[in-house]
Amino acid sequence: MTFKLALLLRESPYLFGGAYYTATVTSLAFAIALGLGLAIALMKVSKRRLVRGLATTYVEFFRNLPALVLLFWIFYAFPVFGIRLSALTAVSLALGLNVSGYMAEAFRTGLQAVDKGEVEAGLSVGLTRWKLLRKVVLPQASRVSLPLIINLFASLLRWSSLVSAVGISDLAYRARIISSVNYIPIEAYTGIAMFYLVVSSLVSFGSSLVEKKWARRYATTS
């Protein structure tokens, strides 16, 4: 058996054209996960036990529920209740909810690392809760959380291949079409494997650069 590189190159415009859907789903799901993750993280560090309990339940539920199961439930069950979503929206919502549980833990780690003395100082000079969060807490928390958040983005990029399960013409879906039409499954799936490997490696490399840059910055200011 020979690796049919020429045939893969011929089909590459169609194959990698699916990257648009991969990027779209990844971006939308990441935005959902980012917003919900921050909100749930703030609930988890609340002084109210009920609020913390609700946040913990949310995190455990979505972290332990398989993303594919959640995707199928949203895609097939929502219309029963009169909620009709496009396949792209359903996938983005499912992945966003799933990753938001992990995102909440990443934000919580950063929030708990904030110096309590600076929080008290901000309150003492009359900062409102919102200004304190925006000007004092989040800038410090992001130093710890950002590398974790970038790694979650890389994971989300890989999980986005689940969109092919509901017929979205992403990389995985097009690889399946190409492999069945041209009988090149090894070549087609090797192509998208290399795509995910390269992009995920670049994201991880960027994460390490950010972490090192911030470590040097705070080492010189401490």
Confidence (pLDDT) at 219: 56
Q: How far apart are alpha carbons 95 and 103 in whole angstroms?
A: 12
Query: How crowded is residue 105: how many other Cβ atoms within 10 Å of its Cβ?
Result: 18
Give the chain's radius of gyration (CA, Å): 21
Q: Where are the alpha helices (DSSP H) in 46-184?
A: 49-64, 67-77, 87-112, 116-124, 129-132, 138-159, 171-182
Confidence (pLDDT) at 218: 57
**The model's pTM:** 0.82
What's the fold here for domain 5-221?
MetI-like fold (1.10.3720)
89 burial (CB, 10 Å; 0-12 / 13-18 / 19+) is middle
Question: In degrees rounded to 5, what are phi and psi of residue 115?
Answer: -65, 120
Question: In degrees rounded to 5, what are phi and psi of residue 43?
Answer: -65, -35
Confidence (pLDDT) at 214: 67
* Eight-state DSSP code of residue 162: G
* Eight-state DSSP code of residue 128: -
**Could you read off the pLDDT tens digit of each residue along the chain, which spans 222 residues?**
577 778 888 888 888 888 888 899 999 999 999 999 999 999 998 889 999 999 999 999 999 988 889 999 998 888 888 888 888 899 999 999 999 999 999 999 888 888 777 776 766 776 777 777 777 787 778 777 888 888 889 888 888 888 888 878 888 888 888 888 888 888 888 888 888 888 888 887 877 777 777 666 655 555
* Domain ranges for the chain: 5-221
